[in-house]
Copies of this chain bind each other. A is one copy, B any other.
């Protein structure tokens, strides 16, 4: 095991700047939250990415082109193909070629997916409460505001 001296040295690594502490905290917090949501979704046979796609389709209320879905997620274009493949294999979405522009593939929710989403709504809200319930409403709003502000000032990400 490590010696006492090495232990002392380990503590001597402070964050060089406050920005770094915030960014690290953000990464760690996100990771922790994701763990809990992953578990919830897995109980329903879904991954977080799959749930996200289904939510987007429900929110739109109509079929969407595949690349439009990719745009609304962080998913990069090639990744969306396999994601939709697996959702289709699970009977949760259907693909349909557009007639006017045969390059476009529309993706539509199935009724099975609608029922699954409805079953998930309450557990998702409950989990949000459980994960953030120890913050006051003011704190939650302030956190949201600060996160929005971080994103608002970010450099463009599409080269």
Residues of chain A having any CB pair with chain B under 8 Å: 2-3, 6, 9-10, 13, 15-23, 25-36, 59-62, 74, 124-125, 128-135, 137, 139-144, 146-155, 157
Contacts and interface: CB of A to CB of B under 8 A. Distances in A.
Given A60-B10, A139-B146, A150-B135, A26 B23 contact: no
A131 B154 contact: yes
Nearest to A124: B20
Contacts of A20: 124-125, 128
A88 to B, nearest CB: 21
A130 B157 CA distance: 13
Contacts of A152: 134
Interface centre among A23, A35, A157 (most CB of B within 10 A): A23
Contacts of A62: 2-3, 6
B128 A153 contact: no
A2 B134 contact: no
A19 B16 CA distance: 29
Nearest to A126: B16
Contacts of A35: 74, 157
Contacts of A128: 16-17, 19-20, 23
A72 to B, nearest CB: 11
Given A18-B144, A20-B128, A29-B147, 5 more contacts: A15-B137, A26-B29, A26-B143, A28-B147, A142-B142
Contact of A17 (B32, B125, B143): B125
